[in-house]
Structure 1
């Protein structure tokens, strides 16, 4: 039996080719078909993945950031609640040009993906062997900023993320106009210093809506986008100015402006909102929370609003501090021998000339701030005296003289700080006090042992907590955690303790505090009578209270000093 095979007829256009070339051609065609099928399947997969995202989220901005105390009681809001949404008509044309020059030159030409830029970035990434270049357009950045926090696929740098981002971007471009994308992008991104959205940033930095920004301010705003934390003009004006210069240079290179215009804009002065007008909070404690929140938002790269912030504050104790301080000072001012004005009129920007106060309570073992009072009247003066009133401690410095002596194995003589301090000298005493959190300045003579050592109320509270925590100094903090509205934790604080002095020395120093039931209270005033201090070391909390004038002057008689201190001690001890 003979076998036979049908002879395949060679197409005429291949008849001139040698066999090896025809074979290579066939394999090449199959490779192209396989690649096209693979690309088609891949595109279908990523578009299917992208279809799971709700495009309405792009225009839906996060709600206000809500602040709670440690027990879950709402005490205020910040951040996102001040976000004002703008449309393209509200955004100056110059700002749009600056944004194009710095972030996406072909924004109005491409369909969401800049193929040229993507190819350049791919070549660069292959050379570097890493994802050093992203070639993200404004539309791609909007996709990432909208969905990045909720979807881990859009956070980690990878080819998968980039392809999913491209598919999602194409959907966004098909759903929204260019002007809408531009407005949504600027409404959503973070501009540093707690500012979410371009209009809130314009009002925070320059005191005006975005529609009123001039060319110099617009260029600086665009420069901030590259690094909201490091380029914030409040934090580093020089760096923000440099970013403005780079933005203008890029605009010139793109022939959007000429050299003469660059010079005019560069030399135009920038007027930032004064520091005393930079907060819309209505209490010292909420302002302090807002400042710490801004630091965390920047440091942790948390860009969205609509957050749930749980603080360390105890709202019950906070109210008690505020009311007891207010009542005690009111009584002293109603005294027949009181000679100073009560809430005297003063010009804007001047320091109020009436009796002031400040108070801080720390959770001794952790440094968590349970309560904070920065002054008498926040609406009258926003100066936070818990960190700004640096005054001599007077007799209240004695526990740290004792701590220094005990740490060096010397004898502690209660009620005799000068004799106790002489055993080790001013230099060593100051060194130990600094380790406990009291930073001075310190008198370099024996006057240090008479209380010529300065501290803020927060430092005194930290020093007390160190004594009550067996010599371990806690770092004060106000925010426990930050979560997204759906409950995902994006920040969790942890207490930070550092060794300051030995357990025996801390115990010896703490024993100097007068024991009143389960609460130890110590009162002292400087010899000049200009400042009154109360230091309370309780079983769980360490409280420092200062009473005096912003411009140092004698408060009144010794009897009145004793009255205000004893009254406060009694109220807090109950």
Structure 2
């Protein structure tokens, strides 16, 4: 059989090459073709995945956050529900320049993906063997924030790039800028630039001056730690860094930097910083924002389940209001009533605060920060640090019992003398009552101060066998898709022995299945009701913001007894 085959002649343009070079070129071209096909298929795969996302979401306002009590009763909304959208014409040009300098200088030049920056970041990530550099453009950040692409991986990055290119093809640069600023988080519960401008500076976005623009842009990378409400010095440092970047990009010169830095920053006063409708909702918002910031949760449509019991909250508010009105209706009452104050009388009127904790966990069942939230937003449940008077007696007993001394019911001075003021103060602090204290025998006569929250915590410690619970308001946070983002873990700390807690709690009177103790300072300027029930501890304070005598101790006692009886039924 013949095996003859025609001889293949090497093309003239390759004849001059050595054999090894021809083989190398052959493999290079082959690998290039295979790589090109693979790359093309990869592009098809990720653009197919990106096509499954609804780009209309980019311009939509995220759903509001719903807040419920522990039994599923809706209490209100929070977070993004107060957001307002802005358009490009509402955004100062200086803010746009600051944003470009800090986040994406070539924003108007690239098509969504800055190839130069991406290549530089890729090289750095390979060297660091980690995702230390992101090279995210504003468009990429918008895509990531809209569709919650948080995971750091090659797969997610490729999907983000594909989505970004789709966003760039759908929206103009000005629309991308506006949508980006409408969606991102600025700390202090501010979702979007308009809410941030109103919350921090009390003005619309279009009214922001250059100093405010630079500060807002500066806090974007760390909205929690750089919030001017939380740390004004850190916010000013970020403002300076933003201005320095603007100068480096030649958007402004040194004279302009100096001029902007000289513009004073005027933040909204603390008493005007909330739009909530009650002390409880305001407290929930504060705790919620702390959790969202720490966990980097920024999307809308959240379901927040709180620890509050709406029915008990309403009952406590109603019974407390009735008791205060009874005091004001006395013939010898010399101060304005709440109704007279509302009608225009300027002098202060009788105030109150109350907290109920679930004894075993520290879950807050009810919180009242004052008599009228619309008139005064000052939360006295955590802020009113007032003399306890005889309401301090249980912790004198707890200190004596903890040190093996006799507890003498009705004789706090004799009980306290056995161990002295310093040891009594140490035990009281362990139970959650932080003072200030008088380090003399007057301590045993009630010269110790606490907030209603601290007193409720101290009571819960006694009822919980000496384990001090940490108060909290939020049980869980769930995303719009049903995914649980946060679940509270109750925290307790050993404070005193179980027997000492039992002896101290025994000092409280037993009425209607609950233990109640009413205390008033000797001067009659503060009145306290401490209630320790089977499941919850309640601390109630009554007095004036500017301390002054309320009425006689006997009359106060009668009102407290009446209130205690109501709460015990």
1-side partners of 2:159 and 2:107: how far apart? 20
Matches within 5 A, 1:201-280: 201-280=196-275
Is 1:475 the counterpart of 2:494? The answer is no
**Is 2:66 aligned against 1:71?**
no
Instruction: Please state how far the C-alpha of 1:366 moved relative to its aligned partner.
Output: 0.5
Q: RMSD value over aligned CA atoms?
A: 1.5
Does the residue aligned with 1:521 lie in a helix, a strand or coil?
Answer: strand
1:336 offset after TM fit, Å?
1.2
Q: Residue 307 of structure 1 corresponds to which residue in structure 2? A: 302
Alignment check: 8 A CA contact 2:430 2:495 kept: yes
CA positional deviation for 1:347? 13
TM-fit CA distance, 1:315: 0.5
CA distance in 1, matches of 2:403, 2:205: 61
The whole-number CA distance in structure 1 between the counterparts of 2:519 and 2:353 is 15
Which residue of 1 is the match for residue 114 of structure 2?
114
Q: Distance in 2 between matches of 1:87 and 1:347?
A: 43
Residues in 2 aligned to 1:16 and 1:224: alpha-carbon distance in whole angstroms: 63
Maintained 8 Å contact 1:529/1:556: yes
Deviation at residue 565 of structure 1 after TM alignment: 0.6
Question: What is residue 30 of structure 1 aligned with on the other side?
Answer: 30
Aligned-residue offset at 1:559: 2.4
Q: Matches of 2:279 and 2:20 in 1, distance apart? A: 84
Superposed displacement of residue 254, structure 1: 1.0
Q: Is residue 449 of structure 1 aligned with residue 454 of structure 2?
A: no
1:17 counterpart residue number: 17
CA distance in structure 2 between the aligned counterparts of 1:184 and 1:323, rounded to whole angstroms = 45
Q: 1:352-371 alignment to 2 at 5 Å?
A: 353-371=348-366
Deviations 1:484-514 (A, max 9, x none): 2232211111111111011111111111110
Q: 1:202, 1:340 → 2: CA distance?
A: 41
Q: How does 1:163-562 map onto structure 2 within 5 Å?
A: 163-343=158-338, 353-562=348-557
Residues 9-52 of structure 1, C-alpha deviation per residue, up to 9 Å, x if partnerless?
21121111222221121111111111111111111111111111
Distance (whole Å) between structure 2 residues aligned to residue 436 and residue 507 of structure 1: 13
Per-residue CA deviations over 1:50-81 (Å, capped at 9, x if unaligned) read: 11111111112212211111111111112111
Q: Secondary structure at the match of 1:121?
A: helix
Structure 1 match to 2:40: 40
TM-score (norm 2): 0.98
Task: Provide the residue aligned with 1:137 in structure 2.
Answer: 137
Contact 2:520–2:553 (CA under 8 A) maintained in structure 1: no
Q: Report the CA distance between 1:314 and its aligned residue.
A: 0.5
Shift of 1:524: 1.1
CA contact (8 A) 2:188 2:289 kept: yes
Displacement of 1:341 in angstroms is 2.0
Runs of 4+ in 1 over 3 A off after TM superposition: 343-348
SS in 2 for 1:85: coil
Q: Is the 8 A contact 1:190 1:197 kept in 2?
A: yes
Q: Distance in 1 between matches of 2:376 and 2:300?
A: 28
In structure 1, the residue corresponding to 2:229 is in which secondary structure?
coil
SS at match of 1:179: helix
TM-score, normalised with respect to structure 1:
0.97
CA-CA distance at 1:4 after TM superposition: 2.8
How far residue 283 of structure 1 moved from its aligned partner, in angstroms, is 1.1
Distance 2:357 2:237 in 1: 41
In the alignment, structure 1 residue 568 sits paired with structure 2 residue 563: yes
Distance of 1:279 and 1:155 partners within structure 2:
30
Cα distance in 2 for residues equivalent to 1:320 and 1:514: 22
Whether the 8 Å CA contact 1:307–1:484 is kept in 2: the answer is yes
Shifted more, 315-324 versus 6-15: the winner is 6-15
Per the TM alignment, residue 2 of structure 1 is displaced from its structure 2 partner at its CA by 4.6
Please identify, of 9-18 and 278-287, the stretch whose mean Cα deviation from structure 2 is larger. Answer: 9-18
Determine helix, strand or coil for the equivalent of 1:9.
Answer: coil
Aligned residues: 568
Structure 1 residue 352: Cα displacement: 5.7
Instruction: Please report how far the alpha carbon of residue 8 of structure 1 lies from its aligned counterpart in structure 2 after TM superposition.
Output: 2.1
Q: 1:126 & 1:333 partners in 2: Cα distance?
A: 74
Deviation at 1:106, TM superposition (A): 0.5
Q: How far does the alpha carbon of each residue in 1:443-476 deviate from its partner, in whole angstroms, 9 at most, with x for none? A: 1011111110100000000000000001110000
Cα distance change on mapping 1:351 and 1:301 into 2, 3 Å: farther
Distance 1:185 1:321 in 2: 44
Contact 2:336–2:347 under 8 Å retained in 1:
no
- For 1:310, what is the secondary structure of its paired residue? strand
**Gaps (5+ residues) in structure 2?**
none
Distance (whole Å) between structure 2 residues aligned to residue 302 and residue 126 of structure 1? 29
Q: Which whole-Å CA distance do the structure 2 matches of 1:547 and 1:56 have between them? A: 53
